[in-house]
A and B are shown apart, each in its own frame.
Chain A
Amino acid sequence: DTAVSQTPKYLVTQMGNDKSIKCEQNLGHDTMYWYKQDSKKFLKIMFSYNNKELIINETVPNRFSPKSPDKAHLNLHINSLELGDSAVYFCASSQDENIQYFGAGTRLSVL
């Protein structure tokens, strides 16, 4: 069983479209995250939720909106996609020791 699963794995879309990425964890963790990895492999935190409550909201355009329906799920919705949004998006989860478990990533390509 995959601990942190993201769908879809690949997402190719046109500029201006709206898309969502889903994330689910079966580890029973309280905290979930979204990270963005750019073309140079640099990883940066976008959002963090703890028990469905938004904890971290970094300087991210408000076209990005996370939603956590329950503590096992954290979805990312992106409106009006731009070329610069092309990246790999990683979901992660953690519990007390803050060892983070990552999903396999969603590679988003905006054309």
Chain B
Amino acid sequence: GDSVTQMEGPVTLSEEAFLTINCTYTATGYPSLFWYVQYPGEGLQLLLKATKADDKGSNKGFEATYRKETTSFHLEKGSVQVSDSAVYFCALSDRRGRRALTFGSGTRLQVQP
């Protein structure tokens, strides 16, 4: 079945550091890929998405590129802020019709001032 693997956290960075959170996936066909973010005590919010190979999703300074050859969708940000502290989830959606998201295990990011 489909699966998503994320790097384990927590990831602790100083403000303005560069962020990479690795995500790889296994899926049949060509899934859509997503990054969701969960701030403390809140539900998940869509951060960015990509629907086909080589697409780059971007939002709020975060970027991720859909790499079919390496089955990866790594999340990057050039300069993190304390307000970016949250749990980040990589997910895929099977476009064959099932529609539910398959999530990675989440990566907690802690940004220190």
Could you tell me which A residues sit within 8 Å of B by CB distance?
4, 31, 33, 35, 40-45, 48, 50, 55-56, 90, 92, 94, 97-105
Task: State A2–B11 Cα separation when bound (angstroms).
Answer: 31
Judged by DSSP, the binding face of B is: strand
Q: Which of B53-103 contact A (CB under 8 A)?
A: 87, 89, 93, 95, 98-103
Contact B103 A44 (CB under 8 A): yes
Contact B105 A45 (CB under 8 A): no
Q: How far is the CB of B20 from chain A (nearest CB, A)?
A: 20
Given contacts A48-B98, A98-B95, A102-B36, 12 further A-B contacts (CB under 8 A): A31-B99, A35-B101, A41-B38, A42-B103, A43-B103, A43-B106, A50-B99, A55-B99, A90-B43, A94-B99, A102-B45, A105-B43
* Shortest 8 CB-CB contacts between residues of A and residues of B: A102-B43, A45-B100, A43-B103, A41-B106, A102-B44, A104-B43, A98-B93, A42-B105
Which chain B residues border A97 with CB–CB below 8 Å?
Answer: 51
Task: State A43–B84 Cα separation when bound (angstroms).
Answer: 21
Which chain A residues border B44 with CB–CB below 8 Å?
Answer: 43, 90, 92, 100, 102
Q: A41-B87, A98-B93 are in contact. Are A103 and B103 (CB under 8 A)?
A: no
Which chain B residues border A105 with CB–CB below 8 Å?
Answer: 42-43
Could you tell me which B residues sit within 8 Å of A by CB distance?
32, 34, 36, 38, 41-46, 49, 51, 87, 89, 93, 95, 98-103, 105-106, 108
Q: How far is the CB of A38 from chain B (nearest CB, A)?
A: 10
Contact A45 B101 (CB under 8 A): yes
Contact A48 B87 (CB under 8 A): no
Which chain A residues border B99 with CB–CB below 8 Å?
Answer: 31, 48, 50, 55-56, 94, 98
Contact A43 B100 (CB under 8 A): no
Could you write out 26 A-B pairs with CB less than 8 Å apart? A31-B99, A33-B100, A40-B105, A41-B38, A41-B87, A42-B105, A42-B106, A43-B89, A45-B101, A45-B102, A48-B98, A48-B100, A55-B98, A55-B99, A94-B99, A98-B32, A99-B34, A99-B49, A100-B46, A100-B101, A101-B46, A102-B36, A102-B43, A102-B45, A104-B41, A105-B43
